[in-house]
Amino acid sequence: MRGFRAAASALGVFSVALLGAVLVAGCGSSGSGGSSTTEVPGNPAPTDPTDPAPTDPTDPTDPAPTDPVCDETFDSTYDAIQSAIFEGKGCTAEACHGGASAGGLDLRAEVSYGNLFDTPSTASSLSRVHPGAKDRSFLWLKLLAATDESIEIAGSPMPLGATPLGTDELDLVRLWIQAGAPEAGTVLETDGLVDGCLPEPEPILIEPLPPPAPGEGVQLEMPAFLLEAASETEVCFPTYYDFTDVVPDEFKSPDGNLFWWEAFEIRQDPASHHLLVQAPIAAFGGSNTDPGLVEGWACLDGANEGDPCDPLDEGACGAGTCAGPVRVGTGCSGYEYARSVTPITFTGTQQPQYRRQNHPGVYAPAPIKGLVFWNSHAFNLTTSDTRMHARVNWLFARDRTHPIQTYGGGDNNFGISRLIVEGAAPYTEKVMCGETILPRGARLTGLNSHTHKRGKRFWYEAPDGEILYESLVYNDPLDKQFDPPLEFDSEDTAERTITFCSLYNNGVDEAGDPDPETVTRASRIPYGVQLDGLPDFVGLCEPSRCVNEGARFDVNCDDRIRNQAGDDAVCDSAPGAGDGFCDACNIMGGVTTENEMFGPDISYFVVELE
């Protein structure tokens, strides 16, 4: 049976940092009621005069586009890793991982991939390469240990006797693993990390996540939906499940409406920006489980796509799945085909692949049957259509001592409201901080974070100012676990206050100079979101600084009209030149990848104090 997973935050039990409330949806969607949201296109993007004019292949006077000169050409990202790292660092030498197969590992080109991918290492309990999970990949940890003394790993760091991998080389391996460690194809963002040329990227489909063993857990599979070429989209749609007969009684609540879990894992295609798994809030009390609450069930994916179906008939769609209508828009709040249902997030991730293991004895609930709403935000930066796949596993909780508690992005609306008002101005950096007070008896078990690409550093501080956490990669944030947990027992609230901060960079390069390519640009924000009670589209911005060559970046070009455009003439490189472009904005809170968020993710449980 297709599976399922859980975490209940709005119920005071669990909240992944992506829980949501409505400003909210998108990279943080939600819903325990609140305003409905609809994706609304912004004004047509202004033409960027700094973009080169396209060539016309039918015009003999137009120069033909030229391909870059390549010193070396690779067939795939993995081929580049084989050449630059395994061979370039001497790993395939006869006495190492060549003919001698040190540690039982042969890294010569004809056999290396099969010896790495999802293959157990001989020196640890880890796989040599675990698709999508670098921290569970022995290869990654061995390579990282050469430059990171905090990594504890069996044997010597690698490469042995050679120069450790540099930043670009480590990023090459990291991105490859994060994308599912494919043997063929070009992983996005790896082309600039190799000394050579890679093929144009094509959509990458990750190896499906195997389901848990019977009696150990359950899996829920999202039916694959169409993700068109060169697009960014966010969708919501429901499916139906029933785990009543597959969950052993020992893992069910006394009334049989819930099951208890201690860990979950999500694996998606690398095109994912986030996935929120939601259920009707009433389902945690045993109601709102009737599929009749949704109108318009039809087959999704497979040969029968579009045919009407009965969600209670598991075979109705063949290889596809019976699903409610796919609504394009932000979040699942206000889903119009089930207006009597209020969905809340009980599981989610901001990464294509993610695994969370609760601290021993900590557990969370999930409805044992009913509707599940899939809120997927994904982008396809290739020139080919694809389908977005996702699977979620839950492992049953045998030890149930403490229900999990969280403080997450849904609790501060992902900072969207603050970012709209306080976002860094063009060509500046700015730190934003927040805080939360943990209850007495709290035992802090984990920290994570969520920003978008202009969030350059996220950190947490203990009450005494000690840095508890620091993450420097927005789309691969540090997931830090504390064992033993940190204790917060003081009667003084100041001694139980956790501060969280993020540094945002809005177009400042490494030398401290303005960078028009990385600044927030009005023309690059794909859409805004209309929320009930607010007059404007959340996420759109009004430009105030120039981006074109020859302009002064400190001149204000705001035209004082709410139109997502500015006074281009102010930006002309010379009076009347007509080459000006006013397009740089303050960082704007919102839900697209061009907007920003400020999302903490704090996991803890509470013990009774004498």
DSSP line for 179-197? TT--SSSPPTT-GGGSSSB
The reply to whether omega before 52 is within 30° of 0 (cis) is no
Q: Nearest Cα to 566, choosing from 557, 575, 554?
A: 557
Backbone angles phi, psi at 78, to 5 degrees: -65, -35
Residue 444 bridge partners (DSSP): 486, 604
Domain extent listing, the chain: 37-42+206-408, 77-123+134-139+147-193
Residue 499 has pLDDT above 90, yes or no: yes
* Average of per-residue pLDDT across 443-464: 97
Residue 35 has pLDDT above 50, yes or no: no
DSSP 53: P
**526 token code pair:** 């794909």
* Average of per-residue pLDDT across 328-340: 85
Q: pLDDT tens digits, residue range 170-190?
A: 999 999 999 999 999 999 999
Question: What is the three-class DSSP state of 170?
Answer: helix
In the chain, % of residues over pLDDT 70: 88
Residue 34 has pLDDT above 70, yes or no: no
Predicted model pTM = 0.84
- pLDDT value of position 67: 54
Close Cβ partners of 571 (under 8 Å, ≥ 6 residues apart): 546, 547, 548, 551, 555, 557, 579, 580, 581, 582
Q: pLDDT tens digits, residue range 222-264?
A: 999 999 999 989 999 999 999 999 999 999 999 999 999 999 9
Residue 361, sorted as left (phi over 0), alpha (psi -120 to 50) or beta, turns out to be left
- pLDDT value of position 507: 98
Q: pLDDT tens digits, residue range 456-479?
A: 999 999 999 999 999 999 988 999
Q: Nearest Cα to 116, choosing from 140, 149, 80?
A: 140
Q: How confident is the model at residue 340 (pLDDT cuts 50, 70, 90)?
A: confident
- pLDDT value of position 404: 95
258-268 and 343-349 strand pairing: unpaired
Q: How confident is the model at residue 532 (pLDDT cuts 50, 70, 90)?
A: low
